[in-house]
Amino acid sequence: MGGESPPRRIRADAERSTARILEAAEAVFAEDPAASLERIADAAGLARVTVHRRFASRTALLDALAEQLSQRYLLGLAEARVETAPPLVALHRLTEIVFDLKLGHRFAVQLSAALTPAVVDGLDLLFARLRDAGAITAADPAWCRQVYLALLHEVYDLPAGSPTLTSAGAGDEVEAKVNLLVRTAVGALGGSSDTTGVALDR
Amino acid sequence: MGGESPPRRIRADAERSTARILEAAEAVFAEDPAASLERIADAAGLARVTVHRRFASRTALLDALAEQLSQRYLLGLAEARVETAPPLVALHRLTEIVFDLKLGHRFAVQLSAALTPAVVDGLDLLFARLRDAGAITAADPAWCRQVYLALLHEVYDLPAGSPTLTSAGAGDEVEAKVNLLVRTAVGALGGSSDTTGVALDR
DNA sequence: CAGACCTGATACGGCACTGTTTCACTTACG
DNA sequence: CGTAAGTGAAACAGTGCCGTATCAGGTCTG
């Protein structure tokens, strides 16, 4: 049954369209998960018909988005050296990376499909190592994941001039958010703030 | 300008219907905020037309739901003696009360309309007192609120047999959840787990 | 350059949901 | 008990969105 891929060349043009659509979808869905495809098409500067050409159905678009998201998470986990670096450092770095992705996390969290088994495994490993290192006391990896992601979500859309944020030090706003998130997550998972300070104050 | 309320007697029958609709809406919207009014009508054992008779529009129903929710929060804050009781005890008690309400928090949190200024004030007061008592270090009340509500949400739909939950002690499942939430929230907001232990272990 | 590919515009059918109306019937309440 | 109110069933118009099709014109790519 060899359904050879027909001589269908995917023009570079079209591929740019898909990219623009995914980008727009990420932004639009972030603030309204029920947004219509037309709104996304507008945001992408394309016609609604084109969206339907690149993605057979709405769910196909959603799936592609989840896929892309999952890939980024995986890449982030790799870049953060979750397996080898000192766990607190890895946590800090991972958070940094995720923030840089500027993902619409309200969407991402809601779309649990982005949490591929591979991604979950990566996070679980990170938290297991954190616990072994004594940075946190919570044992249940699922719980750690939930808490981390929830707090990530909250920190992400924290207003820029928030007192909490400015008091978090670090001139860079993103860096302040990262510090806040790491400190809060570790605290939530039963870590002693001492350990945090030792490893991260600098 | 006296628009006297016309001799429109609201029959007890009808009032029961509104109650059933609100109840059903709470349950249905909890797991699908975009659910149709027909689904709610079914859940309430009524016809869709009746829903439209009791609530002029979909948003009217949403508003009524938010109103009801806000009332419950206010009542909870009062019952927890947020203003007078030792803050950690108040936090514990408030959490207990909110859980007992069995609210669909996925819905409630999403519907920020339920956070009336009055409710916000109550929560702010609670966290201010917690800080003054040294139970937490976070100063920004908005941040405290966000974190508390986010964690409340997470704990709420934690599977019954979760290792985190069973390890939280307390034979009663609800009590275990309450303990977990208080401990996690206090930790997240920079409280020393020592203080928590002193005030709550028992 | 030439053919294959991509796009926008326009239009259509279909679906699900909202909100309204009418009518016959049941139920509460004075 | 009798009237006013509430309800269910059925049907209607209106809307928004999805998915498809067609066609003319623009754009790559070999």
Residues of B with Cβ-Cβ distance to A151 under 8 angstroms: 147, 150, 188
CA of A12 to C1' of C9 (A): 23
* Helix orientation angle between A58-79 and A87-100, rounded to the nearest 10 degrees: 140
CA of A47 to C1' of D17 (A): 15
pLDDT band at A6 (very low <50, low <70, confident <90, very high): low
Coarse DSSP helix, strand, coil percentages of chain A, rounded to the nearest 5 percent: 70, 0, 30
Interchain proximity A190–B167, CB inside 8 Å: no
Residue B153, burial from CB neighbour count under 10 angstroms (0-12, 13-18, 19+): middle
Average pLDDT, integer, range A104-133: 88
Distance CA A85, CA B139 (A): 33
- Name the helix (H) or strand (E) containing B40: helix B37-44
3 state DSSP class of A101: coil
Residues of B with Cβ-Cβ distance to A185 under 8 angstroms: 188
Distance CA A109, CA A147 (A): 12
First to last CA, chain A: 62
- CATH classification for the domain delimited by A66-200, as one of 1.10.3470, 1.10.357, 2.60.40, 1.20.120: 1.10.357
Residue B202 Cβ under 7 A from any strand D atom:
no
Residues of A with Cβ-Cβ distance to B142 under 8 angstroms: 162, 164
- B9-55 folds as Arc Repressor Mutant, subunit A (1.10.10)
User: Which part of chain A is CATH 1.10.357?
Assistant: 66-200
Residue A34 Cβ under 7 A from any strand C atom:
no
Give the one of A142, A153, A162 whose C-beta lies nearest to B143's C-beta: A162
Query: Tokens 């018909």 — which residue?
Result: A49
For position B105, what pLDDT does the model report? Answer: 75
For position A1, what pLDDT does the model report? Answer: 47
Across chain B, mean pLDDT equals 89
Q: Are A94 and A75 in contact (CB under 8 A)?
A: no
Please say if the pLDDT value at position A199 is more than 60. Answer: no
pLDDT band at B193 (very low <50, low <70, confident <90, very high): low
Amino acid identity at B39: R
Q: Which positions ≥6 away from B1 have C-beta within 8 Å?
A: none
* Selection from B120, B143, B141 nearest residue B132 by Cα: B141
Covered bases, chain D (protein CB within 7 Å): 4-11, 16-22, 27-30
CA of A72 to C1' of C7 (A): 30
Please say if the pLDDT value at position B60 is more than 50. Answer: yes
Of A36, A110, A136, A164, which to mutate for an interface test with B (greatest number of B Cβ within 10 Å)?
A: A164
User: Using one digit for the tens of pLDDT, what is the confidence trace for B9-41?
Assistant: 789 999 999 999 999 999 999 989 899 999 999
The DSSP-derived string for B65-124 is HHHHHHHHHHHHHHHTTTTTS-HHHHHHHHHHHHHHTT--HHHHHH-GGGS-HHHHHHHH
Interchain proximity B154–A146, CB inside 8 Å: yes
Covered bases, chain C (protein CB within 7 Å): 4-11, 16-22, 27-30
With the CA atoms of B61, B66, B70 and B71 taken in that order, what torsion angle do they form, in degrees rounded to the nearest 10?
0
Interchain proximity A164–B183, CB inside 8 Å: no
Average pLDDT, integer, range A134-157: 94
